[in-house]
Chain A
Amino acid sequence: MEPRSLWSLMAYGDTGYGDEFLRGAFLTIQLSVCSYIVAFVLGLLGAGAKLSGNKILYRIGDLYTTLVRAVPELLLIILIFYAGGSAIKALLLNIGLVGEDFQVNAFAAVVVALGLIYGAYLTDVLRGAIQAIPKGQTEAARAYGMHAPMRFRRIIFPQMIRFAIPGMGNQWLNITKDSSLVSVVGAFELVSAAKSAASQTKEYLFFYSVGAACFLMLTIVSMIVLQHVERRASRGVRRA
């Protein structure tokens, strides 16, 4: 096929796949952002559990991160997608919030799956960041009579974020890439768009290249933004 006719396949509307790709790219970003928020909350809880000093909480946190690190992401996504869906349904049924015909939103299920995986990675990133804060800081806050939530909000969190930004940035880049794995369980994002376009037209090389190019752009833009964020976060720090 001639190159001109290939590009016409990317037309916007019924004749081309431009709109499908655009929607796919939008969904990839949406999926990554939602999962990242879930992962961040889980990461904070995990880091808290690991640093709590409570043996049982530490064990739970440690088991969580070890298990997630040892099992392939793809397997976890398939497992959580199927198991998580029915578990949420059973839970909601038991509480009586929903009826028998209730279906768990597939998008929510994959967000939970990705969030659970990256929660483990962020747990260790955030734990390291909290540990990097000098002890005297919390001690000073304690001496001022701040209670624990206030210490966290005013002293630990702002300093932790600065230490955590490089690691969190890396995990953001990883989550955008691993969001492609959910294309194995359903059509949600960019790879699914590329997949359906490629199998309908038999132009595999072209459409997967376009998909890869979209991801590359997302990565490059993320890297530029992260660089700025990193610089801004450490604007008050004296450089050696």
Chain B
Amino acid sequence: MTFDLVFMLQDVLPKLILAIPLSLFLVASSGVIGNILAVPVALARISHNPLLWMPAYGFILLMRGTPLLIQIYLIYYGLGQVFGGITIGDQRLMQVLPFLKYGLWYAIFALAINTAGYSGEILRGAILAVPHGEIEAGKAFGMSKWKIFRRITLPRAVRICLPAMSTETILLLKATSLASTVTVYEVLGTAQFIRQQSFRVYETLIGAALVYILLVFVLTRLLNWLERYLNKDRERPVSVPLAQTAKP
């Protein structure tokens, strides 16, 4: 087996680069939906009402206790089976709503609820870590419960769990590669497609690995910047050498 660098640079990488937007779209859409869903999950998990915390606990356990791959299969094939059996009038549901045929929406849905499970657990810890005094201060100002949550607890919690969320986002980027198993041609899906057509394993897969390394590198930088930007108050004050402050 030989490694054809020219083939990789000329035929593989351009196609993979064209697939990057789809991978990023998967990260962005499922990340946004999943993290929004994570808020009610975390709140329900914290609640003392068994009707709330028990389902939330079960949901988190289910999302974190089963492989993402089987979740994607369950949603893509399972929902596909359900939708396939539904007929509206004399037409099939898939004919009325043709977008239901695409694996992409199922992949986004699966990645989003998976993220909601993982992020919900992280957010729960962060909400519990918000200093009590700040919530008391909100109460002293006469804020309503909802206002305290919106203005104090949630923003504080988000900042507390930001490092963990960055890690989660990188993991989500890597997890989007699983969408390739349900006919989504993102970076890995495209690489697999070229591999099956050209019978070249190394050029295609190493090319995809390079693309992912690049994406992770850029995303890490971006998230680090975001973390610094949102935590400006935590920055250490610029230390001034003693010699400058001391009066002569």
Contacts and interface: CB of A to CB of B under 8 A. Distances in A.
B51 interface: no
A220 B77 contact: no
A79 B205 contact: yes
B81 A194 contact: no
Size bin of chain B's contact surface:
35 or more
A143 interface: no
Contacts of A69: 216
B238 interface: no
Main SS of the interface on chain A? helix
Interface of A: 67, 69-76, 78-79, 82-83, 86, 177-178, 180-181, 183-184, 191, 194-195, 198, 202-205, 208-209, 211-212, 215-216, 219-220
B213 interface: yes
Contacts of B81: 202-205
Of all A-B residue pairs in the complex, the 10 with the closest CB atoms, nearest first, are: A204-B77, A219-B65, A205-B78, A72-B177, A180-B67, A72-B174, A208-B74, A177-B67, A70-B216, A79-B205
A215 B66 contact: yes
A215 B147 CA distance: 41
Contact of A75 (B1, B65, B73, B208): B208
B138 interface: no
A147 to B, nearest CB: 40
Contacts of A205: 74, 77-79, 81-82
A203 B80 CA distance: 11
Contacts of B205: 75, 78-79, 82-83
Nearest to A212: B66
A209 B212 contact: no
A79 B175 CA distance: 16
B30 interface: no
Contacts of B206: 79
B212 A70 contact: yes
B202 interface: yes
Interface string B73-97: 1100111111000000000000000
Contacts of B68: 177
Nearest to B81: A204
Contacts of B209: 71, 75-76, 79
B174 A216 contact: no
B200 to A, nearest CB: 10
B166 interface: no
Given A74-B177, A74-B180, A204 B78 contact: yes
A194 B191 CA distance: 26
B87 to A, nearest CB: 17
A180 B70 contact: yes
A194 B71 CA distance: 12
A57 B69 CA distance: 35
Interface in B186-224: 188, 191-192, 201-202, 205-206, 208-209, 212-213, 216-217
A173 to B, nearest CB: 8
Interface string B1-32: 10000000000000000000000000000000
15 contacts: A69-B216, A70-B213, A71-B213, A72-B178, A74-B180, A82-B201, A82-B205, A180-B69, A184-B181, A198-B73, A208-B78, A212-B66, A216-B66, A220-B61, A220-B65
A27 B164 CA distance: 33
A69 to B, nearest CB: 8
A178 B70 CA distance: 10
Nearest to B215: A70
B92 to A, nearest CB: 16
Contacts of A76: 209
Contacts of B217: 70
| Candidate in B77, B175, B208, B216 with the most chain A CB atoms within 10 angstroms | B77
Nearest to B79: A205
B126 to A, nearest CB: 19
A83 B202 contact: yes
B226 interface: no
Contacts of B70: 180, 191, 194, 208, 211-212, 215
A175 B68 CA distance: 12
Contacts of A72: 174-175, 177-178, 188, 212
Interface in B139-197: 174-175, 177-178, 180-181, 188, 191-192
B238 to A, nearest CB: 30
Nearest to B213: A70
